[in-house]
Structure 1
Amino acid sequence: MAKKIESPCVSVCQLKGGLCTGCGRTVEEIRQWKMKRPEKMKTVKRADERLKKIPRD
């Protein structure tokens, strides 16, 4: 079996416009984290793309 998909949480939870600026997930994605592996993989990829677009101070 494949490795477990770990949560992208980095313990810097700051929500801005429904998006965590720490991990890039939406509030709904955070709530639904107990999803199946394929959806977790998609969520992590989407979150990573969102983080790339967030301006850093």
Structure 2
Amino acid sequence: MLGVTISPLKLERIARLRKELLVHAEFLDDVAALLADDAAALVPPVQRIGNRSSTSFLAAGMAS
């Protein structure tokens, strides 16, 4: 096609890639669990933008 040659992977390389994928999958699972735990505290970006235009939001920011 574009002059790209695909060669078969050696077993060692396949094993290393599988191990790396497992680590990344575990990391993503941990992040998903943390986000699920904090879901109630998270505010959607659209709501934050709407809050910025209100005077009560600005007053609350100045009070802290």
Q: Tell me which interval the TM-score lies in, with the shorter structure as reference length.
A: 0.3 to 0.5
More helix per residue: 2
Of the two structures, which has the highest relative contact order with CA contacts closer than 8 Å and spacing of 6 or more? 1
Which is higher, the Rg of structure 1 or of structure 2?
2
